[in-house]
Chain A
Amino acid sequence: MNNHFLLMVIFSALVSLVFVFLTKNGARDRIKYFFYLFGSFILLSVLAGWIMYPFPF
Protein backbone atom coordinates (compact mmCIF):
# COMPACT_ATOMS: atom_id res chain seq x y z
CA MET A 1 0.00 0.00 0.00
CA ASN A 2 2.17 2.80 -1.29
CA ASN A 3 -0.37 5.58 -1.52
CA HIS A 4 0.02 8.14 1.24
CA PHE A 5 -3.23 9.90 0.39
CA LEU A 6 -5.23 6.68 0.64
CA LEU A 7 -3.58 5.88 3.97
CA MET A 8 -4.43 9.36 5.22
CA VAL A 9 -8.06 8.89 4.18
CA ILE A 10 -8.25 5.54 6.00
CA PHE A 11 -6.58 7.04 9.07
CA SER A 12 -8.94 10.04 9.05
CA ALA A 13 -12.02 7.86 8.66
CA LEU A 14 -11.08 5.55 11.54
CA VAL A 15 -10.08 8.31 13.96
CA SER A 16 -13.19 10.33 13.08
CA LEU A 17 -15.36 7.28 13.68
CA VAL A 18 -13.92 6.73 17.16
CA PHE A 19 -14.19 10.42 18.09
CA VAL A 20 -17.79 10.57 16.88
CA PHE A 21 -18.83 7.62 19.02
CA LEU A 22 -16.96 9.05 22.00
CA THR A 23 -18.58 12.45 21.84
CA LYS A 24 -22.03 12.19 20.24
CA ASN A 25 -25.24 10.30 20.84
CA GLY A 26 -27.88 9.67 18.21
CA ALA A 27 -27.40 8.67 14.59
CA ARG A 28 -28.12 12.10 13.11
CA ASP A 29 -25.61 13.92 15.30
CA ARG A 30 -23.01 11.25 14.74
CA ILE A 31 -23.33 11.31 10.95
CA LYS A 32 -23.10 15.10 10.81
CA TYR A 33 -20.10 15.23 13.15
CA PHE A 34 -18.39 12.38 11.32
CA PHE A 35 -18.43 14.22 8.02
CA TYR A 36 -17.36 17.44 9.73
CA LEU A 37 -14.36 15.75 11.38
CA PHE A 38 -13.45 13.64 8.37
CA GLY A 39 -13.59 16.61 6.02
CA SER A 40 -11.53 18.70 8.43
CA PHE A 41 -8.87 15.99 8.66
CA ILE A 42 -8.55 15.75 4.88
CA LEU A 43 -8.69 19.46 4.13
CA LEU A 44 -6.27 20.49 6.86
CA SER A 45 -3.84 17.70 5.99
CA VAL A 46 -3.76 18.73 2.32
CA LEU A 47 -3.40 22.37 3.36
CA ALA A 48 -0.55 21.53 5.73
CA GLY A 49 1.09 19.52 2.95
CA TRP A 50 0.99 22.50 0.59
CA ILE A 51 2.32 24.84 3.28
CA MET A 52 5.25 22.49 3.88
CA TYR A 53 5.84 21.92 0.17
CA PRO A 54 8.59 24.59 -0.25
CA PHE A 55 10.51 23.39 2.81
CA PRO A 56 13.85 21.88 1.84
CA PHE A 57 13.66 19.02 4.36
Chain B
Amino acid sequence: MDMESIPQEESSLPASGGILKTAVACVAGFLVPGLGHALLRKWDRALVFLAAICVMFFLGIRLQGRLFSPDFSEFFAILKFAAEAGGGLLYWLSWLQGLGTGNPAAYSYGFGNVFMYTAGLLNMLVVVDVFDIGMGRKK
Protein backbone atom coordinates (compact mmCIF):
# COMPACT_ATOMS: atom_id res chain seq x y z
CA MET B 1 0.00 0.00 0.00
CA ASP B 2 1.21 3.45 -0.82
CA MET B 3 2.17 5.32 2.37
CA GLU B 4 0.47 8.49 1.16
CA SER B 5 -2.88 6.73 1.12
CA ILE B 6 -2.68 5.90 4.84
CA PRO B 7 -4.55 8.44 6.95
CA GLN B 8 -2.31 10.71 8.99
CA GLU B 9 -3.64 9.35 12.30
CA GLU B 10 -2.76 5.74 11.49
CA SER B 11 0.59 6.38 9.87
CA SER B 12 1.78 8.27 12.95
CA LEU B 13 1.33 5.17 15.14
CA PRO B 14 4.50 3.24 15.96
CA ALA B 15 4.69 -0.31 14.61
CA SER B 16 5.39 -1.52 18.10
CA GLY B 17 5.87 0.34 21.37
CA GLY B 18 8.40 -2.21 22.56
CA ILE B 19 7.29 -5.55 23.89
CA LEU B 20 9.22 -5.31 27.15
CA LYS B 21 7.89 -1.86 27.91
CA THR B 22 4.39 -3.03 27.08
CA ALA B 23 4.71 -6.09 29.31
CA VAL B 24 6.00 -3.99 32.21
CA ALA B 25 3.17 -1.50 31.72
CA CYS B 26 0.58 -4.32 31.64
CA VAL B 27 1.88 -5.87 34.84
CA ALA B 28 2.07 -2.47 36.54
CA GLY B 29 -1.43 -1.63 35.33
CA PHE B 30 -2.75 -4.90 36.67
CA LEU B 31 -1.19 -4.32 40.08
CA VAL B 32 -2.19 -0.67 40.42
CA PRO B 33 -5.06 0.68 38.32
CA GLY B 34 -3.82 3.43 36.01
CA LEU B 35 -0.11 2.81 36.58
CA GLY B 36 0.26 1.15 33.18
CA HIS B 37 -1.13 4.22 31.45
CA ALA B 38 1.11 6.44 33.56
CA LEU B 39 4.16 4.47 32.37
CA LEU B 40 2.98 5.04 28.78
CA ARG B 41 2.52 8.74 29.59
CA LYS B 42 -1.24 8.74 29.18
CA TRP B 43 -1.71 10.89 32.22
CA ASP B 44 -5.39 11.74 31.83
CA ARG B 45 -6.42 8.11 31.51
CA ALA B 46 -4.10 7.08 34.33
CA LEU B 47 -5.67 9.54 36.75
CA VAL B 48 -9.23 8.71 35.79
CA PHE B 49 -8.70 4.95 36.00
CA LEU B 50 -6.88 5.18 39.32
CA ALA B 51 -9.57 7.38 40.83
CA ALA B 52 -12.62 5.60 39.44
CA ILE B 53 -11.48 2.05 40.16
CA CYS B 54 -10.19 2.85 43.66
CA VAL B 55 -13.40 4.69 44.55
CA MET B 56 -15.48 1.75 43.31
CA PHE B 57 -13.42 -0.80 45.18
CA PHE B 58 -13.31 0.99 48.52
CA LEU B 59 -16.94 2.02 48.26
CA GLY B 60 -17.71 -1.67 47.84
CA ILE B 61 -15.89 -2.42 51.09
CA ARG B 62 -17.61 0.52 52.80
CA LEU B 63 -20.97 -0.87 51.66
CA GLN B 64 -20.17 -4.07 53.57
CA GLY B 65 -19.47 -6.12 50.48
CA ARG B 66 -17.35 -9.23 50.82
CA LEU B 67 -13.86 -9.89 49.53
CA PHE B 68 -14.03 -13.47 48.32
CA SER B 69 -10.97 -15.49 49.29
CA PRO B 70 -9.20 -17.77 46.84
CA ASP B 71 -11.58 -20.74 46.88
CA PHE B 72 -11.50 -23.17 44.00
CA SER B 73 -14.05 -25.63 45.33
CA GLU B 74 -17.03 -24.09 43.58
CA PHE B 75 -17.44 -22.58 40.12
CA PHE B 76 -19.17 -19.35 41.18
CA ALA B 77 -16.71 -18.85 44.03
CA ILE B 78 -13.91 -18.94 41.45
CA LEU B 79 -15.69 -16.34 39.32
CA LYS B 80 -16.30 -14.04 42.28
CA PHE B 81 -12.69 -14.34 43.39
CA ALA B 82 -11.40 -13.78 39.84
CA ALA B 83 -13.53 -10.68 39.37
CA GLU B 84 -12.40 -9.10 42.62
CA ALA B 85 -8.78 -10.16 42.26
CA GLY B 86 -8.73 -8.24 38.96
CA GLY B 87 -8.22 -5.20 41.16
CA GLY B 88 -4.61 -6.31 41.72
CA LEU B 89 -2.97 -4.91 44.83
CA LEU B 90 -6.23 -3.26 45.86
CA TYR B 91 -7.63 -6.74 46.39
CA TRP B 92 -4.59 -8.40 47.92
CA LEU B 93 -3.71 -5.59 50.33
CA SER B 94 -7.31 -5.30 51.49
CA TRP B 95 -7.54 -9.06 51.86
CA LEU B 96 -4.32 -9.19 53.89
CA GLN B 97 -5.61 -6.34 56.06
CA GLY B 98 -8.73 -8.35 56.80
CA LEU B 99 -11.05 -5.82 55.15
CA GLY B 100 -14.20 -6.80 53.30
CA THR B 101 -15.50 -9.43 55.68
CA GLY B 102 -18.98 -8.73 54.30
CA ASN B 103 -22.30 -8.67 56.05
CA PRO B 104 -25.01 -10.50 54.07
CA ALA B 105 -27.67 -9.03 56.34
CA ALA B 106 -26.65 -5.46 55.45
CA TYR B 107 -28.93 -3.43 53.19
CA SER B 108 -26.10 -2.62 50.81
CA TYR B 109 -24.32 -6.00 50.76
CA GLY B 110 -25.34 -6.81 47.18
CA PHE B 111 -24.34 -3.40 45.90
CA GLY B 112 -21.04 -3.62 47.75
CA ASN B 113 -20.19 -6.88 46.04
CA VAL B 114 -21.18 -5.51 42.63
CA PHE B 115 -18.95 -2.47 43.15
CA MET B 116 -15.97 -4.69 43.95
CA TYR B 117 -16.59 -7.15 41.11
CA THR B 118 -16.92 -4.27 38.67
CA ALA B 119 -13.78 -2.53 39.92
CA GLY B 120 -11.77 -5.70 39.27
CA LEU B 121 -13.33 -6.36 35.88
CA LEU B 122 -12.82 -2.76 34.77
CA ASN B 123 -9.17 -3.01 35.76
CA MET B 124 -8.83 -6.03 33.47
CA LEU B 125 -10.25 -3.96 30.60
CA VAL B 126 -7.83 -1.18 31.47
CA VAL B 127 -4.92 -3.63 31.19
CA VAL B 128 -6.13 -4.63 27.71
CA ASP B 129 -6.14 -0.93 26.82
CA VAL B 130 -2.56 -0.61 28.10
CA PHE B 131 -1.57 -3.51 25.86
CA ASP B 132 -3.20 -1.95 22.80
CA ILE B 133 -1.53 1.41 23.42
CA GLY B 134 1.83 -0.21 24.13
CA MET B 135 1.69 -2.22 20.91
CA GLY B 136 0.76 0.85 18.90
CA ARG B 137 -2.72 -0.35 17.99
CA LYS B 138 -4.32 2.62 19.65
CA LYS B 139 -3.38 6.19 20.47
Interface of A toward B, CB cutoff 8 Å = 1-2, 4, 7, 10-11, 14-15, 17-18, 21-22, 25
* Cβ distance B105 to chain A, nearest Cβ, rounded Å: 13
What are 25 A-B pairs at a CB distance below 8 A? A1-B63, A1-B108, A2-B108, A7-B63, A7-B108, A7-B111, A10-B59, A11-B111, A11-B114, A11-B115, A14-B52, A14-B55, A14-B56, A15-B118, A15-B122, A17-B48, A18-B49, A18-B52, A18-B53, A18-B122, A18-B125, A21-B44, A21-B49, A22-B125, A22-B129
Number of A-B residue pairs, CB cutoff 8 Å, is 38
* Cβ distance A49 to chain B, nearest Cβ, rounded Å: 14
Interface of B toward A, CB cutoff 8 Å = 44-45, 48-49, 52-53, 55-56, 59, 62-63, 107-108, 111, 114-115, 118, 122, 125-126, 129, 139
